[in-house]
Amino acid sequence: MFRYERQYARLLDAQDELAPYREEFYLPEGTIYLDGNSLGLLSKRAEQALFDILQAWKTHGIDGWTSGKYPWFYLSESLGEKMASIVGGKPEEVIVTGSTTVNLHQLVATFYRPTSERTKILADELTFPSDIYALKSQLKLKGYDPEEHLVLVKSRDGRTIDEADIIAAMTDEIALIVLPSVLYRSGQLFDMKMLTEEAHKRGIIIGFDLCHSVGAIPHQLHDWGIDFAFWCNYKYLNAGPGSVAALYVNEKHFRREPGLSGWFSSKKAKQFDMALDLTPEMHAGAFQIGTPHILSTAPLIGSLSLFCEVGIEKIRQKSLALTRYMMELIEHELAEYGFTIGNPTDDAQRGGHVYLEHPEAARICKALKAEGVIPDFRTPNGIRLAPVALYNTFEDVWQTVQILTSFRKKSPTSKRSESGR
């Protein structure tokens, strides 16, 4: 059927209004890069922004903090304002700062205020492990045993979390909820608006880890009333390895003193008064701690210009089309070879990647790399494939599935397995 042939993929690419943006990126020669949900590719704009910051350092020296095209003293705030449209926050609610886990520590230290009745933190057992490490640390710092005071919602199938189970766990003992927007393994997208409403009905503060959704999925953090959120910028936002992260705090909490105060928590006009008592900013900037890492922030200047130009809604539309097309091809070409689609197939519940399960996933990932396809292996049997809207094509998707099909046709164990669909 024509729909499953290369010509159809090329037709989709010819109709793609985002296709020209592929030229903005440095694509590894001879590869199909499908690991943008772990580390996004370098764009020419991000590279130029880094060069610009280096030039400012070379030209201005210490005066680069207040001079030049991008004064460093205000860079975190100015980038937060640009990023606000991507996450649906007000400009003053977003700040570029820290790393994912440092920001989580800051936010939990700020918002976890146990009482005699409410002492527990609610999370889920499928969230990224570093979040759990941080939550356990914060409980210990407050003198609580994580075995008793960290409540983890269990998965019914090992892939997803039933949102009804999350709501059922919102008991009178819960002081704080921290959940991912998208489960990093299966790509399940939570209904953040609904979960926030349910938490607030019970008087519980709730925050979200957006690492696997920001830059791929639109958010409306302010309108949904979410209390706080945090995320990295090196995945779909393509800001580079170890790039500075970001956080969101709803404006209703601006008078709350940061749990972890530092040099850059200060109100800008007071920062160089050198007073021993902090006067915190009256916006998300209060939740910074130390001096911004300027060189690790610089690529985000160029990367955000792309996202502001294209718009997150168009990016989401293409992302859904790419993953939908990939799943259709997998069902048509690979169902008889023991592959299982482990991610939600409904658009409203799916993040930006496809999650394939197969007993030989590790070997298959190595074989894909040998053929020039860059996937992401997740132990014990997962293959994450993330076709990214700004630089992947429908033909990339088609070619990847053909390569997978060629492996299985050559394999002596290519019969349908018990895990097949």
Q: DSSP of 72-113, one letter per residue?
A: GGGHHHHHHHHHHHHHT--GGGEEE-S-HHHHHHHHHHHH--
CA–CA dist 385, 383 (Å, integer):
6
Cβ(117)–Cβ(142) below 8 Å:
no
Does 265 carry a binding-site annotation? no
119 is in an annotated binding site: no
> Annotated catalytic, 128?
yes
- From residue 46, alpha-carbon distances to 42, 139, 176, 273, 408 in Å are 7, 39, 37, 35, 39
212 marked as part of a ligand binding site: yes
Q: How far is CA 60 from CA 54, 297, 300, in A?
A: 10, 18, 21
- Annotated catalytic residue: which of 4, 128, 254, 407? 128
Which of 45, 118, 185, 235 is catalytic? The answer is 235
The yes-or-no answer on residue 234 being catalytic is yes
Amino acid at the residue 128? F
3 state SS of 136 = helix
Which three-class secondary structure state does DSSP give residue 374?
strand
Encoding tokens for residue 104?
């989580």
**Reduced 3-state DSSP string for 381-407:** CEEEEECCCCCCCHHHHHHHHHHHHHH
- Rounded Cα distance between 331 and 263, Å, is 54
Selecting among 35, 124, 209, 227, the annotated active-site residue is: 209
- Choice among 318, 384, 396, 408 that is catalytic: 384
The residue behind tokens 């200060």 is 266
Q: Tell me, yes or no, if 118 is annotated catalytic.
A: no
Q: Is 131 a known ligand-binding residue?
A: yes
Is 224 one of the annotated binding-site residues? no
Ligand-binding site membership of 105 (annotated) = no
**DSSP-derived secondary structure for 14-83:** HT-TTGGGGGGB-PPTT-EE-BTTTSPPPBHHHHHHHHHHHHHHHHHGGGGGTSSSS-GGGHHHHHHHHH
Q: Which of 25, 234, 264, 339 is catalytic?
A: 234
Report the candidate in 291, 266, 421 with the shortest Cα–Cα distance to residue 356.
421
Active site (annotated) includes residue 209: yes
Q: Is 223 annotated as a binding residue?
A: no
The Cα–Cα gap between 416 and 421 comes to 8
Cβ(86)–Cβ(215) below 8 Å: yes
- What are the Cα distances from residue 344, in Å, to 182, 187, 341? 11, 7, 8
**Binding-site annotation: residue ranges for pyridoxal 5'-phosphate:** 100-101, 128-131, 209, 212, 234, 263, 291
Catalytic residues: 128, 209, 234-235, 384
